[in-house]
Amino acid sequence: MADLGLIQVYTGNGKGKTTASMGLAFRSCGHGFKVCMIQFMKDNKEYGEFKATKYLPGFKLIQVGRNDFVNLENPEEIDINLAAQGWKLAKSIILSGEYDIVILDEINVAMASKLLDVDAVVKFLTEDCKILIKMPEVILTGRYAPPQIIEIAHLVTEMQEVRHNYADGMESRQGIEF
């Protein structure tokens, strides 16, 4: 198996951050890797990626949020609690050694909106994980990646929006945006 253990970040205002991480998961599962994706601030079993998990051996998806928009300026207590529970779960999954790749979907938004403490995430990924014999590849997605996360990452991709159909009033489309 290839050397794993890098930290990757997919961020920016353009579409495709979760999609890019799913593409990596698809490729990795094809090589027999075990992948776990934890989706922060999401709870919708109708998302295409959730439905597709039954077709992708070695891939597990866990949603830790609610099916409602989070007020990023003033998050509700329930959103803070769900993010904290999700982070606790994410840490145990990373430390378990069970997975080769762990995707923390929308965690950048959770940190930027103060649902999670950036310094705690950085400390965990850079210090607490040193006890691991083999660190999984960890992928953090979402807009607003904090500078501290960018600093520790081995790979950072910023999706830049040039044009988006939402600007023309088009709604999210099943199978394309969700």
Q: Give the model confidence (pLDDT) of 78-128 as tens digits.
A: 999 999 999 999 999 999 999 999 999 999 999 999 999 999 999 999 999
Domain regions of the chain by residue span? 7-160
DSSP state of 169: T
The answer, yes or no, to whether residue 3 has pLDDT greater than 70, is no
Q: Specify burial of residue 90 (Cβ count, 10 A radius: 0-12, 13-18, 19+).
A: buried
- Pairwise CA distance, residues 23 & 25, whole Å: 5
Q: How far is CA 44 from CA 5, 26, 48, 76, 123, in A?
A: 29, 20, 10, 19, 30
Q: What does the pLDDT average to over 148-177?
A: 90
Position of tokens 């919708």? 44
- What is the layout of strands, in order, in the sheet containing 155-158? 59-64, 35-40, 101-105, 137-141, 7-11, 155-158
The CATH H-level superfamily of 7-160 is P-loop containing nucleotide triphosphate hydrolases (3.40.50.300)
- At residue 4 the predicted structure's pLDDT band, cuts being 50, 70 and 90, is low
pLDDT for the residue 85: 98
The answer, yes or no, to whether residue 168 has pLDDT greater than 90, is no
Q: What does the pLDDT average to over 30-55?
A: 94
- At residue 177 the predicted structure's pLDDT band, cuts being 50, 70 and 90, is confident
Taking alpha carbons only, the member of 148, 136, 87 closest to residue 112 is 148
Q: What percent of the chain has pLDDT above 90? A: 81
Q: What does the pLDDT average to over 137-164?
A: 96
Check if the beta carbon of residue 2 is closer than 8 Å to that of residue 33: no
The answer, yes or no, to whether residue 1 has pLDDT greater than 80, is no
| Ranges assigned E (strand) in 72-142 | 101-105, 137-141
Q: What is the mean pLDDT of the chain?
A: 94
Residue 121's Cα: distance from chain center in Å? 13
Model confidence, pTM: 0.93
The answer, yes or no, to whether residue 137 has pLDDT greater than 60, is yes
Q: For residue 62, what are the β-bridge partners?
A: 38
Q: Dihedral of the CA atoms 148, 75, 42, 8 (nearest 10)?
A: 0
The full length of the chain comes to 178
pLDDT for the residue 178: 83
Give the HSE-up count for residue 42: Cα atoms under 13 Å, Cβ half-sphere. Answer: 22
Q: What does the pLDDT average to over 23-31?
A: 96
